[in-house]
Structure 1
């Protein structure tokens, strides 16, 4: 291949990616506006969070990461070995909330124009919670996309963009990079097998982290309102399933759905987490309030 051909392909890829980014960013203002409104509503009904310290008590040393920058290096501790270290104080380590919004194909599903996709509702709820937390002086960070936890307007702005537009890769919860005793909010439909989520939560437990599972579901997923000849397609493409009379599968489906939800609840309790289930046809305010109160109980 000639160099000119390679350059044209690179340029075409840049244009394509730019257009994809512009399309994705188009929904950001409306998501942020909705999250701001919800946060303001919830803030009227809750009190400020308690804080365990002012950040002056030494907590631990951790290995330096590239995104930390040179200014974060503790040179005295680093001089004692061949590795670089960062000094963490108690408030910083114990009062960071790590957020994650699932970006998998199933989260793009919506059964009606009257309510948005699960991925957008999850982002709105997470951003609203981030707004409440940063207003209270807490630090927030997005798993896999924002290693440095920040508070205030800057922390909220960075977290919001990543929650709205980020990929939400599964790798972020399969190999989480967080400090010990951190708190976590995972927003997903949790449709992966229970065994998959058991393995993921066990990794957080190894870091002595606890948190909240925000289960965002579409009403059709719970109610199974289908009847007659219906084809169901996998959200990621590939196999499909055709029913001649979908209503005949309703009872068995609802039973399996209830069993999956019950097992998720058991899993959350096993690891000391809180499970919050939220339907996209209902106001997001109740979900945000439940998330905020669950996090407040962990202080």
Structure 2
């Protein structure tokens, strides 16, 4: 990952600070729609919740015996409680130039929607006792204060189209959110590497409705963000079938990679209610 010069980082921080309260407010409202559960590892150990009865074994103290349960049989039983170890969730949001695009002034950019979804999911997970962090950033932490730290980090996140290599660390679950319209092989490779480490993950593709339906006709000038590439056509409608076929193939490739890795893949467009996508993300992690 490249190092940002201090002067550039300060300028970005000052520009991002103006967007921090709206981002946090939007994420808090969205996160309030979901009651968090616990995604921790279930095992016997110290805790408050009953887990199971098991036959007493040599070494179990008399205090650990559940005499009421044991009185109903000839055996002695121990009442195990459940210990939960929080798992770390690592979030990544694409930040390439294309993510800043919106097809209409009344719709958020893909980046804005992705940031709100990522922070909302983080707030829900933090309420449930999870450790959450950004891929390639500071270590995942638990606690309420982590939500504000994540909001600040999201607004200063590197403008990358693919997750950093160190986003895949043992013991994590990954959530990758982006439009994934740039060359797809780096993403597929990342999913394969993460799966080889035993990581579970979720991939959500966020697109503008115009990218979903290609509603263009007549003479249109298509230009890539930053002006790196452009295509001038007098018959935009004639490009629709090929575009839709390529989009379908892109989704099939990502879906196949996720299926092979035991991951989940979903899509969301910025005209849809963000609560739908947040609920899907949370349920996929919970499952």
Same fold (TM over 0.5): yes
Match of 1:38 among 6, 30, 40: 30
- Greater mean alpha carbon deviation, residues 130-139 or residues 193-202: 193-202
Distance in 1 (alpha carbons) for counterparts of 2:133 and 2:175: 10
Asked whether the equivalents of residues 98 and 184 of structure 1 are also in contact (C-alpha less than 8 Å), the reply is yes
Rounded to whole Å, the distance in 1 between the matches of 2:39 and 2:249 is: 37
**1:283 aligned onto 2:277:** no
Mapped to 1, the partners of 2:185 and 2:9 lie a distance apart of 35
C-alpha spacing 1:161/1:16, structure 2 compared with 1 (3 Å):
closer
Distance 1:270 1:53, change over 3 A: closer
Deviation digits for residues 17-62 of structure 1 (CA, Å, limit 9, x no counterpart): 544432222222111111111110133xxx62243259989xxxxx
1:161 aligns with 2:152: yes
Q: Structure 1 residues 204 and 15 mapped into 2: Cα distance closer, same or farther (>3 Å)?
A: closer
Q: Given the alignment, which residue of 130, 138, 141 partners 2:122?
A: 130
Runs of 4+ in 1 over 6 A off after TM superposition: 13-16, 54-57
For the pair 1:110 / 2:102, whether they are aligned, the reply is yes
* Rounded Cα–Cα distance in structure 1 between residues aligned with 2:119 and 2:44: 25
Take 1:30 and 1:223, find their aligned partners in 2: how far apart are those partners?
Answer: 29
Corresponding residue pairs, total: 247
Over 3 Å counting, the alpha-carbon distance change for 1:178 and 1:56 in structure 2 is: farther
Structure 1 unmatched ranges of 5 or more? 1-12, 58-89
Per-residue deviation, 1:106: 1.1
- Tell me which residue corresponds to 1:226: 216
> Hey, what does 1:91 align to over in structure 2?
85
Gaps (5+ residues) in structure 2? Answer: 47-83
Equivalent position of 1:295 in the other structure = 285
2:168–2:193 contact (8 Å) kept in structure 1: no
Partners of 2:129 and 2:143 within 8 A in 1: yes
Q: 1:10-21 residue pairs with structure 2 within 5 A?
A: 18-21=10-13
Question: Counterparts of 1:187-202 in structure 2 under 5 Å?
Answer: 187-202=177-192
Would you say 1:266 and 2:256 are equivalent positions? yes
Distance in 1, Cα, partners of 2:226 & 2:45: 48
Change (3 A) 1:181 1:267: same
Is this contact kept in 2: 1:100–1:168, CA < 8 A? no
- Provide Cα deviations, 1:216-254, integer angstroms capped at 9, x if missing partner: 111111111111111111114322100112111112211
User: SS where residue 190 of structure 1 aligns?
Assistant: coil
Q: What is the RMSD of the two structures over their aligned residues, measured on CA atoms? A: 2.5
The 8 Å contact of residues 117 and 278 in structure 2, kept in 1 or not, is answered as yes
* Alignment CA distance shift 1:228-1:265 (3 Å): same
Q: Is residue 213 from structure 1 mapped to residue 217 from structure 2 by the alignment?
A: no
Q: Distance in 1 between matches of 2:196 and 2:171?
A: 10
2:45 and 2:151 map into 1 onto residues whose CA distance is 28
Residues in 2 aligned to 1:285 and 1:257: alpha-carbon distance in whole angstroms: 24
Structure showing the higher strand proportion among its residues? 2
**Larger-Rg structure:** 2
Query: 1:207 Cα shift?
Result: 1.9
Partner of 1:145: 137
